[in-house]
Structure 1
Amino acid sequence: MGIDDPRQGAAIAQMMGCSQLYLQNSTPAGELVEIPWGNDDALQGYFLPPPGRAGRKVPVVICVGGAEQYKEEHLCRMPRYAHERGMALLLIDLPGHGHRRGFHEGFGRYDIETAISGWVDFLQTRREVNTRKIIILGDGLGASLATRGASFDPRFAAAVCDAGIWDLHERAFLASRIYGGEPSSDEFGDDVVRLCSSSIATRIECPMLVALGERDWLEAGHVRKCCEALAAGGHNVELKVFSAAETAASHAQRDNPTIANEFIFDWIADQLATIR
């Protein structure tokens, strides 16, 4: 359904209505939450506390999707993995995302980082949140937004992100357009690797996990070199490439999200275990 489809408004309203029924009937119940944004506007999110943790401060995983995703998609994909490990979830809207998309709202909005920090500010006001254990998880193309958020906000305990790979590809592409010529795939990849030392990920202070499918749109070899360059610079970054043999090898591990999410949330739990 296109953003100009006249049926979109009704479909989105029904989707959000179903999502709110899901929250109300969860155990414990989830919440529809908001933070102020812009002039008389707000960003919405879904806060889902884990069962059996009433009265205790809990870690929170902020889930960020790509511009083409709706936060509602995560309701059927993420809660089980977080809740089994005693973590709460915050599924968020960002400017220009999901039902907020418009013709003039794009993926590269300048205010994404500010909005992500606004959601961290919100969590710090919640009594049930362990503010030393806030994690950001970027799903699909949201991995690049998780990198942007973590690079501008030092309050994250860990980040599941793309370690700045999307940003590096954009810069390499723009450089090729400015200086002319059509670089080969290998030359383009070499340009990306060369730019790693100035990646926005170098500003991230917390541990990073890059989860990549072998058949993703990114070349696994280039991503590995970028992660190695970041590690050589003293950054705590781990790369997991899901092979075709084990499945979860497609973009965002859509062919087997269970394997991917089990690995990702186990990694998050390991990082949290080191924080007292």
Structure 2
Amino acid sequence: MKQLLFPHDQQFWYETLRVFGHAAYGGADFGEVVATADRIVAGDYDSWHDAWLATAERLASEAAKAHPVTARELNLRASTYYRSAEFFLHGKPEDPRIAYAYERSVECFQAALSENIVPVEIPYEGTVLHGYFYRAPGDGPKPLLVMHNGFDGAAEEMHFFGALGAERGYHVLTFDGPGQPAAIHGSGLVFRPDWENVVGPVLDYAITRPEVDPARIALLGLSLGGALAPRAAAYEPRIAAVIAVDGVYDAATAVTSALPFSREELANRANAATDPELDAIFAVARKQNPTIRWALDHGRYVMGASSDRAFVASYLDYHVRNGIAERITCPVLVCDAADDLFFSGDGKTKPEPQQLFDHLTGPKTMLRFTAEEGADAHCHVGAQRLATGRIYDWLDATL
């Protein structure tokens, strides 16, 4: 999709498009996004924060004086804008602006919830994972769609997938796992690659709810979740179907495709005690590529890594290679974006969704989204209604 704003900064444009996409379900308003973006200097993280924070604060203040329905609408949009405000600040985890904007985002989101959506706490290794349960109308056990975000998204953002589930007769359970916002902020839990050990406790919790049909539980993962959810499905037999939005076979290609090394060489060098040459390459990449700059900052934050090399060394573990994808026996839906900013490959290898699809040995379906549909961006953020409709239709047919 053509960069209509921030033409020389693909990361700022993508994050703006991501906010635009939430307008489809009331999470943003077009004019508010354009007016906010107009106050932002491309590549300037402080400018980005200040503009989105100001919009969020204005809407939250208005919500405090509005009638109930209007207040819910204002709070839902304010939640999105608060979440956007702190997005690029993670290179300095001690920055107090991060916690403030995140906490306000959650507060506004919860103030916007209808009575069929409730916050939940899921027991997990001596602490809890935070999420939301969306209850479908009617009596009797119903199928459940469990969903989580990826490298940088929150459970609150999954609302724009989850809210539709109840309309279609599904209960939905969203959650933040280790490395995701609630777990980072609340418990300091960083990412882990063995995602089946995260999803397992979530399913343990889910099947205690009498309204859930334990034989019809599907799992959806967004972005990096397109590798994490298939990884969980490879080892968790209670999952009846899995959806990768978009499919990821080896998440490290988002980094390796921008570097002049093979995966094996990068693994050796990233894990070395010192490598000044690689450190220098990362420093140059930060200056030349806004996506690499952000990914290294955020990656250190969510992986608990002390350096760019340490982050990359950790990130190499996020894949379904070496026979993991082949272990999946339940039906799999793999989504593919024609112009994915992160996982389209380097031109020498197939895009990540296709690689995942090729390695699956059980029932599988590929859904491709195109520029003509306005859906070619990573996770189809520019065409959320189109994408969610097709995904739920596949789930209807599968479960």
Matches within 5 A, 1:25-174: 25-26=114-115, 29-39=116-126, 41-51=127-137, 53=138, 55-75=139-159, 77-101=160-184, 106-107=190-191, 109-110=192-193, 112-161=195-244, 165-166=249-250, 169=253, 173-174=262-263
Contact 2:339 2:376 in 1 (8 A): yes
- Paired letter, 2:355: C
CA contact (8 A) 2:151 2:223 kept: no
Deviation of residue 222 (structure 1)? Answer: 4.0
Helix, strand or coil: the match of 1:68? coil
Residue 8 of structure 1 aligns to a residue in which SS?
helix
Q: 2:330 aligns with which of 206, 212, 235?
A: 206
- Paired residue for 2:374, among 240, 247, 253? 247
Conserved 8 A contact 1:94-1:115: yes
Offset of 1:122 from its aligned partner? 0.7
**CA distance in 2 between partners of 1:248 and 1:121 (Å):** 35
Give 3-state SS (helix, strand or coil) of 2:136's partner: coil
Deviation of the 1:9 alpha carbon: 2.5
Q: Deviations over 1:215-253 (max 9, x none)?
A: 01323844465356335xx42121111111122100011
Where 1:90 maps in the other structure, the secondary structure is strand
Counterpart code for 1:33: V
Residues 202/252 of structure 1: CA separation in 2 closer, same or farther (3 Å cut): same
Report if the CA contact (8 A) 1:197-1:229 is conserved. Answer: no
| Structure 1 alignment gaps of length 5 or more | 181-194
Inter-partner Cα distance in structure 1 for 2:108 and 2:133: 15
Task: Give the match for residue 363 of structure 2.
Answer: 236
- AA at the equivalent of 1:92: F
Q: Which residue of 2 aligns with 1:15?
A: 105
TM-superposed CA distance for 1:89, in Å, is 0.9
Do the aligned residues in 1 keep the contact of 2:130 with 2:182 (CA within 8 Å)?
no
| Residues 130/178 of structure 1: CA separation in 2 closer, same or farther (3 Å cut) | closer
Quick one: structure 1 residues 59 and 67, their matched pair in 2 at CA, closer, same or farther if it must change by over 3 Å? Answer: same
SS in 2 for 1:59: strand
Cα–Cα, structure 1 residues 163 and 155, in superposed 2: closer, same or farther, change >3 Å? farther
CA contact (8 A) 2:357 2:366 kept: no
CA RMSD of superposed structures (Å):
2.8
| Structure 2: gaps spanning 5 or more residues | 1-85, 257-261, 270-318
Tell me the SS of whatever aligns to 1:148.
Answer: helix
Q: Tell me, yes or no, if the aligned pair for 1:196 and 1:226 is still in contact at 8 Å.
A: no
Q: Distance in 1 between matches of 2:220 and 2:331?
A: 12
3-state SS, counterpart of residue 150 of structure 2:
coil
Q: Which secondary structure does the structure 2 equivalent of 1:154 belong to?
A: coil
Q: Distance in 2 between matches of 1:47 and 1:196?
A: 28
Question: TM-score if structure 1 supplies the norm length?
Answer: 0.79
Q: SS of 1:7's equivalent? A: helix
8 Å CA contact 1:37, 1:43 repeated in 2: yes
**Partners of 1:146 and 1:159 within 8 A in 2:** yes
Match of 1:271 in 2: 398
Cα displacement string for residues 8-30 of structure 1 (whole angstroms, at most 9, x for unaligned residues): 3332322222232333x33xx22
Equivalent residues of 2:338, 2:368 under 8 A apart: yes
Larger radius of gyration: 2
Distance change (3 Å), C-alpha of 1:14 and 1:164 = closer
After TM superposition, the score normalised by the length of structure 2 is 0.56
Matched residue SS, 2:112: helix
CA distance, structure 2, for counterparts of residue 74 and residue 175 of structure 1? 35
Per the TM alignment, residue 98 of structure 1 is displaced from its structure 2 partner at its CA by 1.1
State the distance in 1 between where 2:128 and 2:227 align.
23
**Is the CA contact (8 Å cut-off) linking 2:253 and 2:343 kept in structure 1?**
no
SS at match of 1:4: coil
Q: 1:205 to 1:74 in 2, by over 3 A?
A: same
In structure 2, relative to structure 1, the CA distance for the partners of 1:261 and 1:50 (3 Å cut) is: same
What is the letter of the counterpart of residue 127 of structure 1? P
Between Structure 1 and Structure 2, which shows a larger proportion of helix residues? 2
* Deviation (angstroms), 1:256: 1.0
**AA in 1 matched with 2:180:** H
SS of 1:166's partner is coil
Superposed CA deviations along residues 79-132 of structure 1, whole A, max 9, x for unmatched, are 343122101111101012113337x8654x145321111001111111000111
